[in-house]
Structure 1
Amino acid sequence: MLGIDPGYGRLGWSVIEKNLNLVDYGTIETASGCNIADRIHTIHTKLETIINLYRPDCAAIERLFFSKNTTTAIDVAKTIGAVVLTLRLHDIEHTEYTPSQIKQSLTGYGRAGKEQMKFMIKSIFKLTEIPQPDDAADAIAIALCHSLRCGS
């Protein structure tokens, strides 16, 4: 299962197995000086590499939360479109979850803070350290949410 925390500067990703084994996680980073088309191309290309390496059977994506910065929200929405297309090209079904759904699934409280989420990730996967950066930790939480909600 592939978890994705969308972003055009840094996209978090994680791969977990059905038995809640954390396989790998990381980020796809794009250069801030590049135009959005080049950044999306980088995300698509690197995401394809991850998909080809791990062969996930499904994916979960954090649903876009509209911020006050409309330009940022639009660029993140474009990134999500590229991610969804990349998944579709590999016949990978995806589900989207709001931040509150993710928090509710992991902590039982839809308004949990970042530290509570990180603690749950560390505890569930029996990690010695909290995954960094936050985008990667968020991607783990997204995949875990999907696994807990779907029982897969």
Structure 2
Amino acid sequence: MRILGIDPGIAIVGFGFVDKEGSKVVPVQYGCIQTEAHTPEEERLLHVYEGMTQLIDKYKPDAVALEKLFFNRNVTTAMTVSQARGVMVLAAVQKGLPIAEYTPMQIKQAIVGYGKAEKKQVQEMTRMFLKLQKVPKPDDVADALAVAICHAHSYTLNSRINEVLRK
């Protein structure tokens, strides 16, 4: 199963593709889509949408996992990132892909085992889990890989629960 993990943003969208092979999760490709700061918002959204569509077409994931947005201060930023997230979801839905969402706490729990772990802990555990030489940069990329790993774990657990419930 190939999973696309996404850390939504408007300036930087982190993405990470992983393959779940039995109990192993293996990195396939990761990076970011970046938009220029002083570009009109609609052009930035188009760039994110086109970038996401190209990635989906190239790497052909079976599922998409996104980090749920959480903002407690800047409403303007929240609106813009929400719009960017919307075009990412649109790109996935148009390709018929199932979408899962995880809160930052759920992701931290899945990666570190503690829902209030520090960002650096999550990134280091992601690096170790995927056997990478160093933590991917920018941070958004490591975060996207953590989302993908979280989904790989959750998908396995949910599949097992559903099997038990069907019996």
Classify the TM-score, shorter chain: over 0.9
Q: Which one-letter code corresponds to 2:15 in the other structure?
A: W
Deviating runs (4+, > 2 A) in structure 1?
none
Unaligned runs of 5+ in 2: 160-167
Q: 1:54 aligns with which of 45, 59, 83?
A: 59
- Secondary structure of residue in 1 paired with 2:51: helix
What is the CA-CA distance between 1:67 and the residue it aligns to?
3.0
Q: 1:10 aligns with which of 9, 12, 29?
A: 12
Map 1:1-152 → 2, pairs under 5 A:
1-19=3-21, 20-151=25-156
Q: Which one-letter code corresponds to 1:71 in the other structure?
A: T
Hey, what's the Cα distance between the residues in 1 that align with 2:69 and 2:7? 9
Unaligned runs of 5+ in 1: none
- What TM-score results when the alignment is normalised by the length of structure 2? 0.89
Hey, what's the Cα distance between the residues in 2 that align with 1:3 and 1:10? 14
Hey, what's the Cα distance between the residues in 2 that align with 1:67 and 1:24? 32
What is the CA-CA distance between 1:143 and the residue it aligns to?
0.4
Q: Deviations over 1:53-104 (max 9, x none)?
A: 1000100000010230000000011111111111011001111100000001
Could you say which residue in structure 1 is the equivalent of 2:163?
none
Across the aligned residues of Structure 1 and Structure 2, the Cα RMSD in angstroms comes to 1.0
Q: Between Structure 1 and Structure 2, how many residues are aligned?
A: 152
Hey, what's the Cα distance between the residues in 2 that align with 1:32 and 1:119? 29
Identical aligned residues as a percent: 39
| Rg larger for | 2
